[in-house]
Structure 1
Amino acid sequence: MLAYLLGIFVEWRILAVLGILPCTLLTLALFFIPESPRWLAKIGLIDEFETSLQVLRGFDVDISVEVNEIKRSLASTNKSTTIRFAELKQRRYRLPLMIGIGLLILQQLSGINGVFFYSSTIFQNAGITSSDVATFGVGIVQVLATCVTLWLVDKSGRRLLLIVSSAGMAFSLLVVAISFYMKDYVSENSSLQGILSILSLVGIVAMVIAFSAGMGAIPWIIMSEILPINIKGLAGSVATLASWLFSWLVTLTANLLLGWNSGGTFTIYTAVCIFTVGFVSIWVPETKGKTLEEIQLLFK
């Protein structure tokens, strides 16, 4: 949101330089983040493992039960610390990998980064004059919607939010697609042009709200929860690579697709979101309230 605001007043080179500041703050803050308890236990640093877990859970919480569960889980996985590619075909590895990577790829193929990166162009094509201000408004909406998600994710569950989020994005994108299709058949001087412009803006804002309510953050949460610890590092890296690869692909093609046909572009994104609803309904388990060890039992 801050980047959108600064983008109204400064050129992109200055904005890029200003991006150094949050990176610097993040680097400094990393020194205060406790190490992963399971990783510490895996490499045999038991005292450090218990200390880190106690810091994360709170000093007034009894962690003895969780400590024993993690030790039992690691005792079984440590028998074979090296995973061969052929072993990934086992259900307990194959299914979590498919779900984690699939969610991150579908997150990008929904076109969200295309909408974010080219929002000013989209709003201009829709006939909205203050496109930069509208883009900043989208940033505000995303922040507020994400705050609501923080409250909802452990109350309503990950799976339900993903389904609602994907369905909401599909409906919102369909509204945008229809408004762009109709603009081609309405006279430029018609009062309907203004209505269709507002409809496009409402659709984009609704899409951002729906995305922030589930598909924005939850795929990353799901991925961290369902991957077995002995492949978490490698599989997490592969999933992240896939996410950014498809982000690059969507960013590369979005402007070309918008130049080809705006309505057609949003129709494609709508189809992806509809497919995502089916993918989540069939394959994604509910992980709310479950420990990592309990989640692993779902894939055996």
Structure 2
Amino acid sequence: MELYNYNEIKVDEAEELNNASWKPLMRQLFVFSGVGSIYFVLGLFFGAPTVFIPQIKKDANSTEVLTDEMASWLSSVHGYSALPWVLIIPVLSRLVGRKIPFLIVCINTIVGVIVFYCSANTIQLLLSEIMQGLLLASNMTLLVVIVTEYTSTRYRGLFLAIESVIFYWGVWVANLIGTFFHWKNIGIVAFVCSLYSLSAFVWPESPSWLAMKGRFDESAAAHHWLKGFDKDSQNELVNLINSQKEYLRVCAQREENKSRYELRSVIETISTEAFYKPLLLCVAFMSLYHFSGKMVCGMYTIELIKQISDNETTAYIGMLIMDFVTIVGMQIGCGLAKVVSRRTLLFGSSGIGVIFLFAISLYLHLMSLNLISENKLLSISLLTLFSMTISVGVIILQPPLFGELIFLRYTSSSLLIITLYSQLLMATVLKVAPYIFKTLTLQGAFFFYGASASVFALILYKYLPETKDKTVQEIEAYFEEPHKSDHASKMLIDDHENIDRRLRDES
């Protein structure tokens, strides 16, 4: 294929392209808005159980209409139903592209929203939650991939950061609707957003996937439609096509000994420190987030505050404040991440969050002994401050840390393992939360989450390296040569052949 050369475009053509330079950004925003709308729906479904569970109990004027067992399933089942899709979506997106799987996710979501809105009993609600497992699984296996491949490098980080915030806006809007209106109105908002996501019908296919399949002309056309003809875009396209041509050439050479090569590749992958050490750190980081109780507090906010304050109005107000503070905390965290090191932000956030967990546990214990009286403002303040501290660091650092720790050559296998672990852990933590509250009592539960988060924070404190402003080669050198990490930069500058080898591996 004859590649476009930016320098060979005529002057009048270049002027015309420069005048239309806003079009690629608008097209990328168009694609991102479709992904963002379906991601917003995911947030709506996460926030929905927080409000529809107490509403159903209140409307029936009985707690027996919705048992604790069913309530725990309604809050967690989408995590379990996502597990098979975590395996299916990557295979499907590799075979048929990114666009078709995304449309399947959107259509399935629309059907699930209709079931949700028309639900007349808890079994139908449970079915709608099960159907949203596909949407949840698409989060790390498809949605992030689309944003990464369809957007320019200069905007990619911003889009990914906004995507994380969109999810929590969805949670907050769901809780806001459930506070002032009937919970089924959440389904109306979700339906409109799901319909908008069908705008993907007019998207081009991913340029990266087309290049991977050897369809270089189509890849160039899609790339130009999305990212324009500027110099950076042209360089990105040339590098993309050249790297995929080299990849296809290598694959053709290996085809004769495919089975033997794949077996050797698997053995080499799982035995290399550069694979399993970053993977274990990502697992520990994911465990820190879920065992901190942030997701549990978000899902069971109303019930928790009602147990503390014994006031339903206070519970709903506290829920909205906590959700809004989470969003504000994430915005603050995004700003701090630009000026503060990863380790400082992570351990400052998790450390203060753990202190608030122990403080809440102590406060509830003193209340149970009648040594202090209940204070509604203090109760909400403690939960709100805990929510903010976790959102400032632990939540917003997930995308950058995963992106910096996992090497490009191990992305597919690492993300598969992390996603499976994350969905299973999240579903299990949410499922057993009511039993933890019942068995350990409220003060015991907060102590448990504080102690658990402390363990994973200490593990990360000991083994997690600083990754901010470090090159891929410096991070890789840390894991491959931990005893020489202090001299990684000097070694990489002196050893040019080693750098070239690693760069070829990553391509």
Q: TM-score, normalised by structure 1?
A: 0.80
Aligned to 2:453: 273
Superposed, 1:254-269 pairs within 5 Å as 254-260=433-439, 261-269=441-449
1:200 to 2:379 alignment: yes
Aligned to 2:50: none
Residues 279, 406 of structure 2: 8 Å contact kept: yes
Deviation at residue 124 of structure 1 after TM alignment: 0.8
AA in 2 matched with 1:3? A
Distance 1:29 1:21 in 2: 15
Aligned to 2:180: 9
CA displacement, residues 161-193 of structure 1 (integer Å, 9 cap, x when unaligned): 111111011011111111111111117xxxx42
Deviation at residue 276 of structure 1 after TM alignment: 2.8
Deviation at residue 26 of structure 1 after TM alignment: 4.9
1:212 to 2:391 alignment: yes
Deviation at residue 211 of structure 1 after TM alignment: 1.2
Deviation at residue 24 of structure 1 after TM alignment: 4.4
Name stretches of at least 5 consecutive residues in structure 1 with no aligned partner: none
Distance 2:390 2:322 in 1: 12
AA in 2 matched with 1:134? G
1:161 to 2:345 alignment: yes
In the alignment of these two chains, the number of paired residues is 293
Aligned to 2:119: none
CA displacement, residues 42-99 of structure 1 (integer Å, 9 cap, x when unaligned): 76788959x969x88x95769969x98xx89x989x7999541563121011111111
AA in 1 matched with 2:442? S
CA displacement, residues 126-150 of structure 1 (integer Å, 9 cap, x when unaligned): 1152211110111110111111111
1:104 to 276, 286, 294: 286
Distance 1:248 1:293 in 2: 36
1:240 to 2:419 alignment: yes
Aligned to 2:362: 178
SS of residue matched to 2:334: helix
Residues 63 and 289 (structure 1 numbering): CA distance in 2 closer, same or farther, change over 3 Å?
A: farther
Aligned to 2:62: none
Residues 204 and 10 (structure 1 numbering): CA distance in 2 closer, same or farther, change over 3 Å?
A: same
Residues 296 and 27 (structure 1 numbering): CA distance in 2 closer, same or farther, change over 3 Å?
A: farther
Deviation at residue 30 of structure 1 after TM alignment: 10
CA displacement, residues 1-30 of structure 1 (integer Å, 9 cap, x when unaligned): 211111112333442453344444456479
AA in 2 matched with 1:297? A
Residues 34, 52 of structure 1: 8 Å contact kept: no
Deviation at residue 293 of structure 1 after TM alignment: 4.4
Aligned to 1:116: 298
CA displacement, residues 223-277 of structure 1 (integer Å, 9 cap, x when unaligned): 1222122321222122122112111111111122222300000001101221232
Residues 109, 246 of structure 1: 8 Å contact kept: no
1:228 to 2:407 alignment: yes
Residues 353, 386 of structure 2: 8 Å contact kept: yes
1:299 to 2:483 alignment: no
Question: If you compute each CA radius of gyration, which structure gives the higher value, 1 or 2?
Answer: 2
Residues 226 and 6 (structure 1 numbering): CA distance in 2 closer, same or farther, change over 3 Å?
A: same
Aligned to 2:505: none
Residues 60 and 214 (structure 1 numbering): CA distance in 2 closer, same or farther, change over 3 Å?
A: farther
Distance 2:204 2:384 in 1: 34
Aligned to 1:142: 326
Residues 151 and 59 (structure 1 numbering): CA distance in 2 closer, same or farther, change over 3 Å?
A: farther
Deviation at residue 120 of structure 1 after TM alignment: 0.6
User: As a proportion of its length, which structure holds more helix?
Assistant: 2
Residues 175, 199 of structure 1: 8 Å contact kept: no
Aligned to 1:253: 432
Name stretches of at least 5 consecutive residues in structure 2 with no aligned partner: 1-171, 255-260, 481-507
Residues 21 and 217 (structure 1 numbering): CA distance in 2 closer, same or farther, change over 3 Å?
A: farther
Residues 21 and 98 (structure 1 numbering): CA distance in 2 closer, same or farther, change over 3 Å?
A: farther
2:266 to 72, 84, 102: 84
Which stretch shows the higher mean deviation, 25-34 or 139-148? 25-34
AA in 1 matched with 2:266? R
Distance 2:463 2:274 in 1: 13
Deviation at residue 285 of structure 1 after TM alignment: 1.9
